[in-house]
Structure 1
Amino acid sequence: MLTAARLGAAALTAALLTGAAAVPALADSPSPSAAAVPEGLYGKGDPTFDGVWRQSLALTALAGAKVTPADSAVSWLTGQQCADGGWPSFRADTAAACAAATEDSNATAVAVQALVALGGHQDAVDKGVQWLKANQNADGSWAYNPGSPGDADSTGLAVNALLAAKVDPAGVAKAGRSAFDGLALFQLGCAAPADQRGAFAYQPKPDGALEPNALATGQASLAAVGGKLPVTNTNRTDAAPKALTCADGSTSAAGSAPTAVPRADSGETAGAYLTAQLAAGGQHLTLTTPGAAPAPDYTATAWAALGLIQGGHPQQAAGAVDWLAKEGTAWTKGGTDASATATLLLVAQAAQRDPASFGGDLVGQLTALGPAPKATAPASASATASATASAPAKGKKDSSVSQWWPIGIGLLIGIGGGVVLSIQRKRGPKP
């Protein structure tokens, strides 16, 4: 995923591939050398490193909001696909053939999920899935760009895309190693300290050791529980996620690889780790970058919430969802960052919160960043559904009073017009 850190990695990859110096540009931040923003693309900033990523997230989130995007927005995304089925981060000249080495598993995975959510693009989806299959590493994992070592984020996103396309990741394999086997390479198990078990590392260290990474864990957790974008799971398990059961004193034998977390336990133990980390961090995860002070990691927190909700633990995600609703405006830059705004909207939808009052009107903010949509969901229907979902449980007497008192006042003072009520919605019930 192209957060600031991943943007830097993408820029470095581009520099190595082209032999030119590359300076990373943050998503939706203008740059003196920024590429022109094409018609149909969401966001106003340089699309070089995240054009397909932010477009895919925006279209996925708007599909969940029952918004029919402009044809130009959809055709921009489909037009970015290469002849072999993959997507690059951004393709400035769609008339020129793609350089295979610049195609991007992250962009391909989210594009596939967006087109599945929109419907009607099966050929492009099938080609994208075939590209993912063709570019799977021999150990079952995926790299950001083909030919590199795999990482947890890219592998998790590929699994998400396969699930969205209704392809079983267990059956997508190279050299006998499935997509789930590839994901397991990055998860800390019984050989790790108890408080790290269930976390995902971005990649192994040179000595093979795995170190917990907040973003890798947040993103990989959605794949570990068998999820995809958008998250629409309404199942609920009242119990907290189960920590990994290990024999006392579990360690790896000297020189041996750590024992993989069993597939059946992967999602639950990731959820247990994330729940503990959120509780310890004030309901958000933390970004730790060498040489910089620790800072809230909005992206990792959002993906952690999505993973917990998909895993049937919305109550464990509720604190993070509340934190994102309160603090997310800083992340979205007031609704001007398309990628962040779309991700926040996906969280609000997954948590069954009202996106019109989730730190701002997320649907309105996101649509304003792209071409005018062909159609939007009726505001009255959306508001009614949200009000129903967010109504707190009260006794019949209190409920009756709260419903009829404003109406009575309106009947007394309304003259030839409707009554406009402004209700501050509380957090909705957990699914």
Structure 2
Amino acid sequence: MIVRRTAAVLAATVVIGTALVPAAVADGSSPSPTASPAIPSGLFGSTDPTYDGVWRQSLALLAQHTVGERPASKAVDWLAGQQCANGAFAAYRADAAAACDTKTMVDTNSTAAAVQALAALGGHDGGTRKAVGWLESVQNKDGGWGYTAGGPSDANSTSVVVGALAAAGGKPGDVKSKEGGSPYDALVKLSVPCDGKGADAGGFAYQPDKHGALAANADATAAAVLGSLGKGLVTTAGKPLPHGYTCEKAATPTPGQAANNGAFQLARLLHDTPYLKSAMPGAKDRPDYGNTADAVVALAAQGGIAETKKPLAWLEKNSGPWATASGPAAYAQLILAAHATGTDPRAFGGTDLVERLGATGPAVQASAGAEKKDQKDQKDDNKGVNVWWIIGVGLVGGIGIGFLISGRSKKQQP
């Protein structure tokens, strides 16, 4: 799971930090810049939402819901309003009132993220069913999904769609192409065999290279571990592994074996340094905060709580400036990492991530804790009223009680 700032049509992609961007942008040949659109009042974040509006909104709403907040109605409405009539979502539609057409660049990642958020919030069953229907309609022969409909399957897109299918109440393994391929089949094919080939063993490739070879990518591996487990962006810790991770050799691993092997590779990468590094070819050796947070979620989901301690502590100490610069999706990633490990996101290295996330968007309606307190206070108030009413009745003595009884008796008489 990565923070996407992705153009909707991707001929080729490279990973930069936590952002998946078009190759044209990476090599400096991006189109001429256009004026940043006005930020809708219901949208999280203050940066141009053209390439990540739905993605960052979905993560922000998921994170708020996960910690017991009730997101602002206009924030939820904004996300739901981005959906096209065919069920799909684009990265951002400035004019959601206009009908989607062939020029509307819908994608699987925005659609799957929106499904996970709206399913968690509830009350959007019709919309999520249509979105899942669209996702199933663009499934590739191998059982996976690419970023765009018909694009080659990749580990990240397939995994976020698996999360959407599960969030909507379905069984991802039962969703198969006409040729019989399931999402798990597609992910297993992207799993690098455990045959001793260096640091790549056990990891997942984003896609095969032009020769069909698989090179592990840490970002794809973190996403595919969750996908292979049938889990979405929000997860809790799995059962601790009794003997730690191993890279299990198998001609065709099961999804569970592939997930374990992927976690093995992540744990190995995090053994010497408590963070993952930028995956962009030629990039400086710099920390990748978002990928590290995603790896923490993946390791926790697979049962590797012990392996999450060092990277989580590193994030608590170092991720503040990155999250401030990156915005709502970054805060959401950290909250989801905290949630997966049972860490308090309101005291994350001295930072209240929930408050910081809330400051990037419309104010929440209320938190679950606040609602429970209000209900308790109301009950206490009612008890107080009842006590003082009884005391008052006692003070007025028999006259008052007799009046009440007399009045009631008269009303009951024919």
Deviations 1:9-31 (A, max 9, x none): 547669xxxxxx9869xxxxxx8
Deviations 1:224-255 (A, max 9, x none): 22321311345333431232135xxxxxxxxx
Unmatched segments (≥5 aa) in structure 1: 15-20, 25-30, 247-258, 383-431
Instruction: Give the partner amino acid of 1:237.
Output: L
Partner of 1:160: 163
Kindly name which structure, 1 or 2, has the bigger radius of gyration based on alpha carbons. Answer: 2
Among 305, 328, 333, the alignment partner of 1:343 is: 333
Contact 2:10–2:148, Cα closer than 8 Å, also in 1: no
Partner of 1:170: 173
Q: Distance in 2 between matches of 1:218 and 1:273?
A: 10
- Shift in Å, 1:94: 1.1
1:366 aligns to 2:357 (yes or no): yes
Q: Distance in 1 between matches of 2:24 and 2:46?
A: 20
Q: Percent identity?
A: 41
Over 3 Å counting, the alpha-carbon distance change for 1:295 and 1:10 in structure 2 is farther
Q: Secondary structure at the match of 1:78?
A: helix
Instruction: Give the partner amino acid of 1:240.
Output: G
Partner of 2:5: 7
Q: Secondary structure at the match of 1:7?
A: coil
Deviations 1:44-88 (A, max 9, x none): 111000000000000000001111111100000000011111111
Q: Distance in 1 between matches of 2:283 and 2:199?
A: 24
Partner of 1:355: 345
Among 73, 76, 88, the alignment partner of 1:74 is: 76
Q: Distance in 1 between matches of 2:210 and 2:11?
A: 20
Instruction: Give the structure-2-normalised TM-score.
Output: 0.80
1:220 aligns to 2:224 (yes or no): yes
Contact 1:152–1:200, Cα closer than 8 Å, also in 2: yes
Partner of 2:377: none
Partner of 2:142: 139
Instruction: Give the partner amino acid of 1:51.
Output: G
Contact 1:284–1:301, Cα closer than 8 Å, also in 2: yes
Q: Distance in 2 between matches of 1:8 and 1:42?
A: 17
Q: Distance in 2 between matches of 1:357 and 1:171?
A: 40
Partner of 1:274: 266
Q: Secondary structure at the match of 2:239?
A: coil
Q: Quick check: 185-194 or 166-175, which moved more?
A: 185-194
Q: Distance in 2 between matches of 1:381 and 1:326?
A: 33
Q: Secondary structure at the match of 2:70?
A: coil
- Shift in Å, 1:113: 0.8
Over 3 Å counting, the alpha-carbon distance change for 1:289 and 1:264 in structure 2 is closer
Over 3 Å counting, the alpha-carbon distance change for 1:120 and 1:380 in structure 2 is closer
Among 81, 104, 107, the alignment partner of 2:107 is: 104
Unmatched segments (≥5 aa) in structure 2: 13-22, 27-32, 374-414
- Shift in Å, 1:287: 0.9
Instruction: Give the partner amino acid of 1:7.
Output: R
1:375 aligns to 2:366 (yes or no): yes
Q: Distance in 2 between matches of 1:353 and 1:237?
A: 19
- Correspondence list, 1:117-266, <5 A: 117-174=120-177, 175-190=179-194, 193=197, 195-233=199-237, 235-245=239-249, 259-266=251-258
- Shift in Å, 1:347: 0.8
Deviations 1:127-160 (A, max 9, x none): 1111111111111110101121111110111111
Contact 1:222–1:303, Cα closer than 8 Å, also in 2: no
- Shift in Å, 1:171: 0.8
1:115 aligns to 2:114 (yes or no): no
Q: Distance in 2 between matches of 1:116 and 1:155?
A: 18
Partner of 1:423: none
Partner of 1:421: none
Contact 1:160–1:227, Cα closer than 8 Å, also in 2: yes
Work out the number of aligned pairs and report it: 354
Among 288, 299, 308, the alignment partner of 2:279 is: 288
Partner of 1:47: 49
Partner of 1:392: none
Partner of 2:299: 308
Among 289, 292, 310, the alignment partner of 1:298 is: 289
Contact 2:54–2:90, Cα closer than 8 Å, also in 1: yes
Contact 1:41–1:370, Cα closer than 8 Å, also in 2: yes
Instruction: Give the partner amino acid of 1:73.
Output: A
Partner of 2:93: 91
Instruction: Give the partner amino acid of 2:49.
Output: P
Contact 2:172–2:230, Cα closer than 8 Å, also in 1: no
Contact 2:2–2:219, Cα closer than 8 Å, also in 1: no
Instruction: Give the partner amino acid of 1:314.
Output: I
